[in-house]
Amino acid sequence: MKRYFFVISLIVATLLTAACGNSRRDEIDARKDALKHKQDSTLNASQQELAVVDSALEAVKAEYEQKKKEVEAHKAALQATPEELTELTLLRVQRDSLQVKWNVLGAKIRYIRQKQKEME
């Protein structure tokens, strides 16, 4: 009777160990799948945001260059107003801010792609 109890206990322990091993493997696989999904969705969102930031950056750059020429012409003629100079400075700040955002999004996209290659 003790022998049967020992054998049954051994079988139950083996089954529990095997079951835990599979559930852990399933958890690991589920986490890998979730990570891949998260990377794909983040990459897609970042690419869309980069497209918006890129167009805004190009528009602000063009506006800044036009305003800069105008203000420099007024400066040369000693007719530049404080409002013009302030507007030029604000455009430069906006341009620089968009440039930083563009750089960060580009680095984020490159990083996600690098991690996805490592996972393959």
Report d(CA 67, CA 60) in Å as an integer: 10
Segments in 77-120 forming alpha helices (H): 82-119
Let me know: does 71 contact 84? Beta carbons within 8 Å.
yes
Q: Is 8 exposed, middle or buried (0-12, 13-18, 19+ CB in 10 A)?
A: exposed
pLDDT by 10s per residue, the chain, length 120: 555 555 566 576 665 565 555 788 888 888 988 889 999 999 999 999 999 999 999 999 999 999 999 999 999 999 989 999 999 999 999 999 999 999 999 999 999 999 999 988
Instruction: Assign domain 32-119 one CATH number from 1.10.150, 1.10.287, 1.20.120, 1.10.3470.
Output: 1.10.287
Which H, E and C letters describe 45-76, residue by residue? HHHHHHHHHHHHHHHHHHHHHHHHHHHHHHHH
Q: Where are the domains of the chain?
A: 32-119
The pTM score is 0.73
